[in-house]
Amino acid sequence: MTVSEMAEKLSLTTLSLPDPDREVEGGYAGDMPSWVMGNAEQGDTWITILNNRNVIAVAVLLDMSAVIVAEDSKLPDEVVELAKSKEVNLFTSAESVFTLSAKVAELL
């Protein structure tokens, strides 16, 4: 499944979509960047409530397929602009981390 297909099926709000055809290879949910760095894998979609620059840094470091910021956690404009400049697929959703995780798992 591609990132754009996932976004459509989950009714995500798109903030940055430089690579809509990127394949989603897995998923990871967590809010501690160091933990995510040690446990998530390349190609994962990361689901989090974090809303700072570290989200983009971790996504780039791990070459993640996308980041979904859940539970209406608001992202500052500078974070959205950083995602665009680093070519990170970035979305938001009002749904909980739990719900989004279950839905992503079901899609995979």
Chain segment 45-89, per-residue pLDDT in tens: 999 999 999 999 999 999 999 999 999 999 999 999 999 999 999
Sheet holding 13-16, edge to edge: 13-16, 90-92, 66-69, 44-48, 26-29
51: nearest Cα among 93, 8, 11: 93
Give the C-alpha separation, 97 to 30, whole Å. Answer: 9
| pTM score over 0.85 | yes
